[in-house]
A and B are shown apart, each in its own frame.
Chain A
Amino acid sequence: MTTLSSVKTTSGLASVLAMVVMGLALMFVAGHAQSATLHDAAHDMRHATGFPCH
């Protein structure tokens, strides 16, 4: 039982970690990356969510 529950916990934590990485990556691309195209496209929303822009 202990082994089963610890396997479940480990798999749960791995899923959580994967989700965190995906969320952070998307936030970086949409909100922080400074390529000119991305910046121009996301410009109004970066200002309107308070991300540091320019």
Chain B
Amino acid sequence: MFQRMLTGALFAGCAAGLIAALLHFAFVQEVILLGERYETGELSHFQGSAPEAPADHAHEAGTANDHANGAEAADPNALTRNGLTVLFTILIYVSYTGLLVAGFGLAETLGKRIGAVEGILWGIAGFVSFQLAPALGLPPELPGTVAADLGDRQVWWWGTVALTGTALALLAYGHHAWKYPLAVGMLALPHIIGAPSIDEYYGVAPPEVGAMFSARVLGVGLVVWAVLGWFAGQLWERSRTA
């Protein structure tokens, strides 16, 4: 069974990682680069804001962004940076898939069959556990955002992932009526405790850019997790009958 899980994690994880990288460069990277230009002070939010600021602001940002894209293409470091992003995207998605297929293995040991359809549902549950639930307390941050102590945030992140994933598994596969109050309590607990936060906001990028970043990260995450679950479920079923 270990080899089956490892093969599934590598194949489905690499495929999902490549799709994630593609979607990252289509939707997310340009927002990161724009955020970094505010972080470095190259752009300034509300710089010289006038009554007609919204139109001017949009125009300025658009022009500046075009310029940035040109500069990015000519930057020799961009190739290394983007290559490393692709590599780490694949590594992170292989790690997600490893945990997902470990769940498939556990389900099979307990007598449950997992196929492509279950895989999609498991993938969406993975997205909720690893990205959506933590994002309620720690929204995906543009580079340059000032936040609470990193160690505290990582502890809250791992705790939220573990509690949310366990609660969803309980809701799906539990047999007793007490699973409902228990799962709801586990889902709510991290948000009742609250994510580590600071008392003030120090963001230098416009809120529109931060909102666009968070929304696109979550949108891309949902799509990739669903595909990942479908592919991993498909592979799992085929390797069982083989």
Contact = CB atoms under 8 A, between A and B. Distances in A.
A interacts with B: yes
Nearest to B131: A50
Nearest to B4: A15
Contacts of B95: 23-24, 26-27, 30-31
Instruction: Name the prevailing secondary structure of the A interface residues.
Output: helix
Contacts of B220: 48
Contacts of A3: none
Instruction: Name the prevailing secondary structure of the B interface residues.
Output: helix
Contacts of B91: 26, 29-30
A4 interface: no
Interface size class of B (residues with CB under 8 A): 35 or more
B190 interface: no
Contacts of B142: 47
B24 interface: yes
Contacts of B85: 44-45
Nearest to A19: B102
B196 to A, nearest CB: 9
Interface in A1-32: 9, 11-13, 15-16, 18-20, 22-24, 26-27, 29-32
Contact of A16 (B109, B134, B154): B109
Nearest to B99: A23
Nearest to B196: A52
B70 to A, nearest CB: 20
A19 B143 contact: no
Contacts of B84: 41-42
B143 A47 contact: yes
Contacts of B94: 26
Contacts of B9: 19, 23
Contacts of A18: 2
Interface in B190-240: 213, 217-218, 220-221
Contacts of B106: 13, 16
14 contacts: A12-B109, A16-B102, A18-B2, A19-B9, A23-B96, A23-B97, A26-B95, A29-B91, A31-B92, A34-B150, A42-B84, A43-B143, A46-B88, A50-B135
Interface of A: 9, 11-13, 15-16, 18-20, 22-24, 26-27, 29-32, 34, 41-54
